[in-house]
Structure 1
C-alpha cells in the first residue's frame, strides 16, 4: 500500500490510536477515507513537503501556467523557474503572486517556499501553518519542519478533517465531497478512489466481502434523490434505501445524459437543480 512511506509518517500512524479516537476516526469507513486522502496527498507517504523542482516547461505550465493557476506563469518566463523550487514557490505562493500570497497569509519574502505544502494534508501558507499550530498547540509557524515531525504530523491533518466535517461524509461513503473539501476541487479523484478501495479491502469490516457503499449510513437526501429518479423513469427502478450505491450512480448518470448536463454520476448542485426543474415541469404538465 505504501512501501516507501517515510518513517515520520509510519511512526505517527503507529502511535496514533489515541489521537484517532480523540477525533472519532474510529470506524472502518472513517479510517479508510482518511488514509486514502493522506496517502494521495503525500504520494503514498513519500512526500514530506511539496516538490516544486519542475524539470520541464510543459509540466510546469500545465500546473501553474496561464489559465491553470492564479500564478499565470507565461511561457517567456518559465525557464527561470525550472529546477528552482525556491523561486517557483515565491512566484506561485509568495509575493510574486500577490493575490494568492494574501489569501495564504504569506507576507514576507521567502514565505512562499517556507510555507509550501507540508505534511499529511499538504498544509499550505503562513496563515494555515499559524492556524493549525494554534489548534494543535505546536508552533508550526516559526518551525515549519514540525509539521512533518512524527509526534505532530497527524494533528494538522486531523484538525483539517474535523473542520471539514468529514467524518459525516465518510459515514456516507462520499469520497467526492471529501476530495472537494480537502483539495478544493476534484483533482486526483480517481487515484484517491483507488487508494480508498485498497485501504478498505485491507481494513474494512469483512474486508472485500462487504463493499463500502453497503457499509455506509443511509441518508434522507439519497432517499429523496432515488424517489425523484424513479418518478422520472429510472429503469430499472431504484430500491429506495438511502444508500448511494452503483445503481443510484448509474441512474444519476442516465438522468444527466437526458438533461444534457455534465455526466459524472454525482448528484451535485447542477444535477439536483435539473431534477427539480424536470419534476416541476412534469407536475405542471399533469395539471394542465
Structure 2
C-alpha cells in the first residue's frame, strides 16, 4: 500500500488523541493498565519521533503488541513447559533431559537459552535472565542493552530492570524506531520490512504482527479519519487487512503445529486444523475445543511461539555497514574492495558514429542465443529454483510492448545488452550507459545477492544491439559495483530493496553511444506515465529492444511499482518518467511475486539521493 497525500490538515482541529487508553484496550483487552497508560500519556514523545499518523501508530502498536504478547508484560515470558521447550527448541539448543530439568523455572530457562550468546557471559551467570527480552520493543542480551543504553542515555546495561519500566521502556522503543527510520516503511505499509527493521532479517513474529495490525486498524484507526487526522486517502494494494484465519494458519505452520504444506483449501483441512489445535490446547493447558477461540488465539500470539527462533538462529554478518554503501568487485583478479555531491548525471548524446563492420561474430551470436535470463532469488521464491527453468509473471494483462527496429538513434544506442556467466551458465540482462565507460543495471545482474551469494564474471556488453548487429561494437568489464545491502543482507526478501549495481567497462564506448542522465524521483509522481526500455527474452527475434509504457502506481522510499510489461532479460533496464526527458529514475528489477503490492505489480529500484551519490561515485571511477 502507498499513502497518497497523507498529512494532518492545518485547518482541522483534532477531536481526540491519536491513541487513547480505551483505544489500546480495544486492540488488546487484557493489556496491562500501567503499560497502556504510558502509551496513552506519551503523545508529545510520539510527536517528537514523527509517529503522528494513523498508519504509523497502527504499525508501532502492532509491533509493540507482537513483542509483548498484547502489552501484558515488558519482560519476556520464560515460563516454558517441558512439552513446549521440546516442541519449539531444537535439540542443539536444549536436550530432552535439560528440558525436563528446567521446565517451569523461568530463570534457569533464560540462563540456558540466552546465557552463552548476545554478549552474555555464560550459562553459569545470570546474564540470560537479567538481559532477557525487555521493553515495548524488546531488546535481548547484554550487548544489545549496552547499545540501546547509549542511544537513549540510560544505564540499562548496569540496571536492566530500567528497560522493564514503562517510561524507560517506551523511551528505548521510540529511540529504536527513529534510529532505524521505521516510519518510512510504515508509510509504505510494508509490513515485512517493518518487521525486519524491528526483529532483524529473519522477521520472526511476522505473522503475529499482521494479526495485531488487523486488530489495531479494524478496531481503532480505520474510524479515526474523520477526527482530524489524515485528510488524504489510502490506496490499498490488496486491502489493508487480511483474513484472520489464514494468518493464524501461518502462525500454526511457523510453530510446527501443522505441516508446512498445510492448505485450508484442501479436503480434510478443517479436521486437520482442529486436531492440531486440540494438541496445542492440551500442551498449553487450555480447554480442548479444537477451535480458534479467544484463549487459543491469545496463546498463539504469545511471543513464546516465535521468540525461540531468535535463540535458535545466530547470524553473524561479515561486517556491520550501511546497506546503501557500494561494494566493488574487481573482475580481473577476484577480489572485492569497498567504495566510500552532485545530485544528477546529465545525459550526453555522444557522436553516434557507427562501426564499419556491425555484424556480430558467429561465436558472439551463438553465445547470445544460448544464454538465458537471470532472475533474483526473491522473485523466484527460493534459492533452489533454477533461473533457466523459471517462468516469470511479468506481462500483466494485454502485452503492449513496442519493438525498436533501429537502435542507431538516442537513447536506443545507450541501452546495453549484457552477457555474463552466473557460475552455471551464461545469462542476459539489460543496462544503460551513464558515462563513457559505466553501465547502470540491477544488482542481481552482478551478484546473486545476500551473504550466501556469489559474484558473476566474464562480461560481454553490446550497446545498441539490434538482432544480429552490434552497430557500436562491444566491450568487456574490469569492475562491477552493487549496494552493500544487496550482498550483505541475510535474506533475499531483505536484499530486494537494494537491487542496484553498475559495471565498469574496459573501453570508452560511451563517447560514441552517449549516455543517459540519472536523477532522483520526487514523491509526487504517482499516476504519471512510466517507460521501461530493454531486451526481452520472450520476444522474437532475439536481441531486439522493446519499450513498455504504464504509470507509476505505488512509490515507496526504496522501490517503485508499475505494470509495465517486462520479461526475463529486461532486468536492469532503465525506468524513465515520460516527462523527465532522457533521465533514468529507477532500474527495473522483478516481476510479480510474494504478497502485495509485489503480487500485483512489477517493480524497480528507486534512485534516491543517497543512491545518486553512490552512482556518481561509480561513474567517476
Give the alignment's TM-score, normalised by structure 1: 0.69
Render the CA deviation track for 1:166-211: whole Å, top value 9, x for unaligned: 111011110111112212223332321122132223224537xx65
The answer as to 2:595 corresponding to 1:265 is yes
C-alpha distance in 2 between matches for 1:150 and 1:76: 37
Q: Pick the aligned partner of 2:221 from 203, 219, 229.
A: 203
Alignment correspondent of 1:192: 209
Cα distance, 1:236–1:159 mapped onto 2, change above 3 Å:
farther
Q: Which structure carries more strand by proportion?
A: 2
Deviates more, 1:163-172 or 1:190-199: 190-199
Q: Pick the aligned partner of 1:73 from 80, 94, 97.
A: 94
C-alpha distance in 2 between matches for 1:39 and 1:45: 5
| CA positional deviation for 1:36 | 0.7
The answer as to 2:546 corresponding to 1:242 is no
Is this contact kept in 1: 2:393–2:592, CA < 8 A?
Answer: no
Q: Pick the aligned partner of 1:107 from 114, 121, 129.
A: 121
Structure having the higher Rg: 2
C-alpha distance in 1 between matches for 2:87 and 2:69: 19
Identify unmatched segments of 5+ residues in structure 1.
Answer: 96-100, 217-224, 250-254, 256-260, 274-288
- Which has the bigger relative contact order, CA under 8 A and spacing at least 6? 1
Alignment correspondent of 2:62: 36
RMSD over aligned Cα atoms = 3.7
| CA positional deviation for 1:22 | 1.3
C-alpha distance in 1 between matches for 2:89 and 2:72: 22
| CA positional deviation for 1:262 | 12
Cα distance, 1:169–1:78 mapped onto 2, change above 3 Å:
same
Q: Which structure carries more helix by proportion?
A: 1
The answer as to 2:155 corresponding to 1:139 is yes
Cα distance, 1:188–1:263 mapped onto 2, change above 3 Å:
farther
C-alpha distance in 2 between matches for 1:262 and 1:236: 15
Q: Pick the aligned partner of 2:77 from 51, 55, 58.
A: 51
| CA positional deviation for 1:243 | 5.4
| CA positional deviation for 1:146 | 1.5
Render the CA deviation track for 1:49-86: whole Å, top value 9, x for unaligned: 111111133x21333214xxxx6222343211211222
Is this contact kept in 2: 1:169–1:178, CA < 8 A?
Answer: yes
Identify unmatched segments of 5+ residues in structure 2.
Answer: 1-26, 227-232, 241-378, 380-391, 400-549, 563-567, 569-590, 605-621
C-alpha distance in 2 between matches for 1:136 and 1:8: 21
Q: Pick the aligned partner of 2:44 from 3, 12, 18.
A: 18
Alignment correspondent of 2:331: none
| CA positional deviation for 1:236 | 7.4
C-alpha distance in 1 between matches for 2:82 and 2:217: 36
Is this contact kept in 2: 1:5–1:44, CA < 8 A?
Answer: yes
Alignment correspondent of 2:178: 162
1:195-234 equivalent positions in 2, closer than 5 A: 195-201=212-218, 202-204=220-222, 206=225, 213=236, 232-234=394-396
Cα distance, 1:196–1:112 mapped onto 2, change above 3 Å:
same
| CA positional deviation for 1:16 | 0.8
Is this contact kept in 2: 1:64–1:92, CA < 8 A?
Answer: no
Render the CA deviation track for 1:230-280: whole Å, top value 9, x for unaligned: 993223798641158xxx89xxxxx9xxxxx99632659xx989xxxxxxx
| CA positional deviation for 1:165 | 1.8
| CA positional deviation for 1:89 | 1.1
Alignment correspondent of 2:112: 91
Give the alignment's TM-score, normalised by structure 2: 0.34
C-alpha distance in 1 between matches for 2:397 and 2:214: 28
Aligned length: 235
Render the CA deviation track for 1:129-148: whole Å, top value 9, x for unaligned: 22222222222122222213
